[in-house]
Amino acid sequence: MQIPLVDLRWQHRLVQDELNAIFQRILADPYADDLTYARELEPMLAAYFGVPEGCAITVQSGTSAQFLALKALGIGPGDEVITVPNSDLPTTSSISHTGATFRLADVEAATHNLDPALIEAAITPSTRAVVPVHMFGRPADMTRIRELAHARGLLVIEDATLALGAEHRGVKAGLWGDAAFFSFAPRKVLGGFSNGGLVLTRDPDVAHRVRLLRGYGQDPSIMEKPIHERHQQNGMAGIAEGYNFKLDGIQAAVVLTKFPYLHAWGELRQAVAERYAAGLIDVPGVTLPAPIGEDRHAWRNYVILVPPAKRDAIRHYLAQNGVTTSVMYAPPIHLQPVYRHLGLGEGSFPVVEALADSLLALPIYPGMTEEQVDYVVEKLREAFLLDTKL
């Protein structure tokens, strides 16, 4: 049996007729207007999150979403932003590209998320914001993070790229901060055929600045009109130096088609996670994801911990038996070559480093069958039974 880490074929078969229909609309559009489908998708997203109209802004990617959120909130040269070391490089590079400086704080071992108790020590007079990452789809402790940040006058910008559909204390991930950003990359919780992203805020002024920067810096009230209407305008209205960060029309159409299935597909991910937990709970050496209580996990990834000395052999055995696994976001950011100049060597963030040596991401996706889950469990059990050879 061959089981990839992610398999999108099931969901694409499910929506194939709908995709074909919307592609026919695209082919029939004489202008190939990128914003046609974003104009349909954005109100749906705003309604889903319960934010004011215009406050869910689709953009080119999760990376551009983070960059625009930071810029729209005024983050720039001289500012510092606190975030985590166990994420992808865009989490820190987006901060750097605004001219600001990132500062790292370690995470909780049980959740892989920013440890609220360690934020205070990372704050300096230059700190302007905190960017918690909802790692693997598990919401961070936003109650404590927001309380601490606001007590110190700091902005909170949620990295929810892995957490569409997650909830903390009944509130959706993305609604706890001053802004949030999501990813619609193909293998995220909800994705297009290529990159896409979303900036979310409750503040119409912040949303306006995001829209302004997204579309070349031209007046959004003109720039976001249908192309045939824009052609009736006399000239352009460039009021800022912006970027070309609009969501591609095809990706917007794909996400628009898939969006109604978000909750149902989330339930399927939850079922896979529960079946893994039931099958692996008694395997010595395996640490399962910590219980989440009343919160809701998006389960973009199902990540277990295994003994570091055995991980490579376990992965090799699983691969030999057709099971693809992954080691997510390792080595940590501070140990990546690009940041060597910061002097943050091994031991700087011991919890993140220990997790990076132990974590193992198993296949999980909507449409994964019980037979497939059980097969992964069986092969993982076999790997541990071969302990003397590992």
Q: What is the pLDDT of residue 265?
A: 98
| Tens digit of each residue's pLDDT (9 = 90 or more) over 229-246 | 777 776 777 889 999 999
* Other Cβ atoms closer than 10 A to 221: 10
**Model pTM greater than 0.85?**
yes
- 3-state secondary structure string, 210-256? HHHHHECCECHHHHCCCHHHHCCCCCCCECCCCCECCCCHHHHHHHH
Determine the Cα–Cα distance for residues 31 and 174; give it in Å rounded to an integer: 34
Residues 245, 216: contact at Cβ < 8 Å? no
Least confidently predicted of 157-166, 200-209, 378-387? 378-387
| Tens digit of each residue's pLDDT (9 = 90 or more) over 237-290 | 788 999 999 999 999 999 999 999 999 999 999 999 999 999 999 999 999 999
Determine the Cα–Cα distance for residues 371 and 279; give it in Å rounded to an integer: 12
**If you average pLDDT over residues 342-367, what whole number do you get?**
97
Q: Which CATH superfamily is domain 262-389 in?
A: Aspartate Aminotransferase, domain 1 (3.90.1150.10)
- Classify domain 9-261 at the CATH topology level: Aspartate Aminotransferase; domain 2 (3.40.640)
Taking 70 as the threshold, does the pLDDT of residue 80 lie above it? yes
**What value does the mean pLDDT of the chain take?**
95
Determine the Cα–Cα distance for residues 333 and 335; give it in Å rounded to an integer: 5
Q: What is the pLDDT of residue 222?
A: 78
- What is the residue extent of each domain of the chain? 9-261, 262-389
